[in-house]
Amino acid sequence: MKIKQIFSAVLIVFFTSPVLIAQKSMRDMDTGPDEHIMYANDDIQWAQSPVLEPDLRVSVLEGNPSESGVFTLRIKIPDGGYISPHWHPNVERVTVLSGKFLLGSGEVMDKDKTKVLKPGSYTSMPPGMRHFAVAEGETIIQLTSVGPWVINYINPEDDPRNAK
């Protein structure tokens, strides 16, 4: 009986250690806000982003995407709007709040190779994953990642920062 208890204890330590380490590292990255943050939907202010297509609008809810640390932002994409193929050096977590977010992976924009994510859908993309998106209907997504947020377009001509 004692061998069974020892074996069980070893298994518990073995399988929970990575979870505990992951939780600690997430805490190390995010000390949280200095004060309570709360937004009513009507209070959210939208602006153009210098790194996304010009018809998209962004609202930073928490943190600063250009600095180290966890941040959350929302992106409003008009019907038919898109985000060209790109990748990020950090994980990207996205929740669809409204509309249809057609998400595809790869280096070539191909609407036929997307998965339709409806409101309430969630995706987490690992660092370096090549992906793109198209909106059906006005679509709002909420994105959480770790800054500094870098977007690397596959085709430099798609990068709004290179527009003349």
Q: What average pLDDT does the structure give for the chain?
A: 86
Number of domains comprising the chain? 2
Question: Structure pTM?
Answer: 0.80
Q: Which of 143, 146, 41, 154 is nearest to 87 (CA)?
A: 154
Triad 162, 103, 135: Cα angle to 5°:
75
100 part of a folded domain? yes
Q: Are residues 5 and 71 in the same domain?
A: no
Give Cα 159 to chain centroid, integer Å: 18
Q: What is the pLDDT of residues 113-134, one digit of tens each?
A: 999 999 999 999 999 999 999 9
Q: Are residues 22 and 96 in the same domain?
A: no
Q: What is the pLDDT of residues 137-147, one digit of tens each?
A: 999 999 999 99
Q: Are residues 26 and 100 in the same domain?
A: no
35 part of a folded domain? no
Q: Are residues 53 and 94 in the same domain?
A: yes
- What is the structure's pLDDT at 21? 40
Environment class of 18 (CB within 10 Å of its CB; exposed 0-12, middle 13-18, buried 19+) = exposed
Q: Are residues 87 and 158 in the same domain?
A: yes
Q: What is the pLDDT of residues 91-103, one digit of tens each?
A: 999 999 999 999 9
Q: What percent of the chain has pLDDT over 90?
A: 73
- Domain range for 19 is 1-30
Q: Are residues 22 and 47 in the same domain?
A: no
